[in-house]
Structure 1
């Protein structure tokens, strides 16, 4: 699964603010609801349920929240960059400012796990994280993620 196939430019929010983890997840849910034509409350519930099982803060200011959603036909994603990092109970106890949320249909077990692993590997790259923090537009963020995903898959 290629990043460009699951992340649309309209699902990228390059400069947003939220005071805490719950509000970040609510913001992600609102963007996802608009993009996927699903209910924001149900999306937030699914994200919160997954977070209750363990934080998706993977370190270095990155979180990869994910959930399975009824009504999705394929893998989808939302990317958010926060103006000010928030506490996310990350593995390294660092606040998060880069959020790459993944959403899968209920039956996409293998695909979901592979995509999650690919995104996590991608966002471990310090130079890419810095470029994402400097990018100003959804187009620039999309280009960085798609280009880097292509070169890391080669």
Structure 2
């Protein structure tokens, strides 16, 4: 499986408007309203519970909010970009511009960790980060990821 097997044009948001952590998480979850995902409230709860354990803002303008749910049947990967940046309690105290949200079924712990590790490796590549920061369409996001996308 590759990241582009689960990241789709429908789950890519290149112009986030939210200004704080709860609002950006809600905005990022909006594409799932037309899917088989649990309610937005249930998804928000799992993401906010994870944030209370420690911010998923890893620094350098990046956050990877993630969670596992018992009643989730599919794996969801959402990408979002904020031009102005969002205060997200990141490790470096800087605003976050790039978001990858990972939601997996609770029984898929191994897969959840593999996706998290794959995104982390991808974002260590400066050229990918730069292309994602400049992306203004879902196609540009997919094109930025594709050359480095490998099976996990």
Q: TM-score, normalised by structure 1?
A: 0.90
**SS across alignment from 2:25:** helix
Alignment of 1:3-152 (within 5 A): 3-150=3-150
Out of 55-64 and 135-144, give the one that drifted further.
135-144
- CA-based RMSD of the aligned residues comes to 1.5
Aligned residues: 151
**SS across alignment from 2:23:** helix
Q: How far 1:72 sits from its partner (Å)?
A: 2.7
Partners of 1:145 and 1:72 lie apart in 2 by 26
Instruction: Show structure 2 runs of 5+ residues with no match.
Output: none
Change (3 A) 1:13 1:35: farther
Q: How far 1:45 sits from its partner (Å)?
A: 0.8
Report the structure, 1 or 2, having the larger helix content: 1
Q: TM-score, normalised by structure 2?
A: 0.91
Instruction: Show structure 1 runs of 5+ residues with no match.
Output: none
Partners of 2:36 and 2:116 lie apart in 1 by 19
